[in-house]
Structure 1
Amino acid sequence: MLQNLIAIIAIAVGIVLWVRATQRKLVILDENLRNAMSQIGVQLSSRFDALMQLLDLTKDYSRDDIEILIETIQSRRTVITAKSTADDVICQEGLISEALLKIEMVTEQYPGLKTSPNYIKTMDAVQTFDNMVRTSRLIYNDSVAKLNQEIRMFPVSMIAGVLGFRKRDYLDDQGTKAGISSIKRVA
């Protein structure tokens, strides 16, 4: 009887230790994912700042259209944080792409704007931040893959939901493709 009790206690302790170790591993993977999303937020914020500088430069050429666009961006822009979702990022990238397309239309009408040193410098900054966002997206998707794989594997899959961990969505590449092609066409 005593041996059975010791065996049951040993099994219970083993299960508790396994659950604790699994929870710790999932927390680390989740924190890596949150950090990656925060980095996307930082890069998008920098990209928005460069975009606003670009809009200020084009304001002299097409004041009415650009002022409406600036107001639209300011009202629809949200800050991407660690708790943001893939949809939030895609929405913000769509807003940037929309603005870049509008800027492209203005630069087609005013060729002098394209050759302006300030315009070229600011457009280079936008492109640099776009590359940084793309890199941050890769890191985020890698973090999502690691967390999702861990959650889906047996026996972790049995307790992941109970511990509050869920499968996350990847950032597809559709949002950045439109922005990149706009930058290349404008530059």
Structure 2
Amino acid sequence: MKKVLGPIGIIIIILVLLALLFIPKYNSLVTAEESVDSKWAQVENQLQRRYDLIPNLVESVKGYAKHEQDIIASISEARSQMGNARSPEEQAVANDALNGALSRLLVVVENYPNLKADANFRQLMDELAGTENRLAVAREDYNNEVQTFNKNVKRFPGNLIAGMFGFEQKEYFKATAGSEKAPSIDFSNSGKQ
């Protein structure tokens, strides 16, 4: 009887030690994944806030810059693209398009001093600037959380547990190629009202 219990006891001890190693690592992966999802929700929250502010901003500008319809159309198109984006990569591309359209809008605003003085427009611009700041912080927080999660998924023994339970690396929210350059805008042929 002692000869049978010896190997069984050793197997049980090994299984308990493995469980003590794997269970905390599994739980830390679950926690890290939830943190990534939570941070992504914050990015989406700020993107939605900006998405919601833009129609009001566009309407404010429309009255002053009726002949700048191409810019207003590009903002509407970029906003639609943002609304349809699902993955961090798609949202990064849509975000870059929206940023470009908004920067062209700001050039239009510079051409209309009365618009810049309008209280509603100033309030919308302040809200948009605040949203952009919160969005930058949310993206940074998300990317930091993704980095932590991806390290856990890649490192031993996390890579074993991640492979067994289907944990996959997360995508970073990154700007698309060329977004570091400001868009070129030429209003030399457009007339002012």
Q: Aligned partners of 2:180, 2:57: CA distance in 1, in Å?
A: 18
TM-score, normalised to structure 1, is: 0.81
Matched AA of 1:124:
D
1:155 maps to what in 2? Answer: 157
2:73 maps to what in 1? Answer: 68
| Contact 2:82 2:94 (8 Å CA) reproduced | yes
* Aligned mate of 1:77, from 68, 75, 82: 82
Shift in Å, 1:151: 1.6
Q: Aligned partners of 1:93, 1:74: CA distance in 2, in Å?
A: 9
Shift in Å, 1:110: 2.2
1:86 maps to what in 2? Answer: 88
* Aligned mate of 1:51, from 44, 54, 60: 54
2:139 maps to what in 1? Answer: 137
Shift in Å, 1:155: 1.7
Q: Aligned partners of 1:70, 1:136: CA distance in 2, in Å?
A: 23
CA deviation vs aligned residue, 1:33-80 (integer Å, no higher than 9, x gap): 000000101111111222221111011123333552354245323267
For the aligned residue pairs, the C-alpha RMSD in angstroms reads: 2.6
Shift in Å, 1:94: 1.4
Shift in Å, 1:30: 0.2
Q: Aligned partners of 1:100, 1:71: CA distance in 2, in Å?
A: 10
Shift in Å, 1:137: 1.1
Q: Aligned partners of 1:158, 1:128: CA distance in 2, in Å?
A: 43
1:39 maps to what in 2? Answer: 42
Q: Aligned partners of 1:62, 1:69: CA distance in 2, in Å?
A: 14
Shift in Å, 1:6: 0.8
1:124 maps to what in 2? Answer: 126
From the superposition, tell whether residues 107 and 67 of structure 1 become closer, same or farther in structure 2 (CA, over 3 Å). closer
Matched AA of 1:27:
V
| Most deviating of 106-115 and 47-56 | 106-115
CA deviation vs aligned residue, 1:93-143 (integer Å, no higher than 9, x gap): 113213212312422332321222222211111110001011111211121
Q: Aligned partners of 1:137, 1:153: CA distance in 2, in Å?
A: 24
2:190 maps to what in 1? Answer: none
1:108 maps to what in 2? Answer: 110
1:185 maps to what in 2? Answer: none
Query: Structure 2 stretches of 5 or more lacking a match?
Result: 184-193
Query: Structure 1 stretches of 5 or more lacking a match?
Result: 183-187
Q: Aligned partners of 1:147, 1:61: CA distance in 2, in Å?
A: 48
Q: Aligned partners of 1:93, 1:111: CA distance in 2, in Å?
A: 28
Q: Aligned partners of 1:158, 1:106: CA distance in 2, in Å?
A: 55
| Contact 1:40 1:136 (8 Å CA) reproduced | yes
Matched AA of 2:55:
M
Matched AA of 1:107:
V
| Contact 1:36 1:136 (8 Å CA) reproduced | yes
After the TM superposition, list the runs of 4 or more consecutive aligned residues in structure 1 that deviate by more than 4 angstroms: none
